[in-house]
Amino acid sequence: MFIEKHILFVPKDKYMKKLELVEEVMKEIDMDDSIFIATSLALKCSLWSDYKHFDSQNKVNIYKTKDIVKLIEL
């Protein structure tokens, strides 16, 4: 499929090492989203999301769509 060429599938063993740390941070925010923060940490990258609850964590940098648009306009 065409879209698979543009998606990075991260093996579970890459982010599982970070999950315990992230679950501690996310337990009061949203545990279901811990995997996204753990993956970002494991890959040493930012996360693009408009979910406001990600603003409550301090482990990874979060970009909102408006931030991405500003970067594209540069």
- Tens digits of residue pLDDT in 10-69: 899 999 999 989 999 899 899 999 999 999 999 999 999 999 999 999 999 999 999 999
Q: What is the C-alpha separation between 61 and 43, in angstroms, rounded? A: 12
Total count of domains within the chain: 1
Within a domain: 37: yes
Q: Is residue 31 part of a domain?
A: yes
2 domain residue, yes or no: no
Nearest to 26 by CA among 53, 48, 49, 44: 53
In a domain, 43, yes or no: yes
Residue 1 lies in a domain: no
Q: Does 26 fall in a domain?
A: yes
Q: Is residue 4 part of a domain?
A: no
Read off the pTM: 0.81
* Residue 36 forms part of a structural domain: yes
Full residue range of the structural domain in which residue 22 is found: 11-73
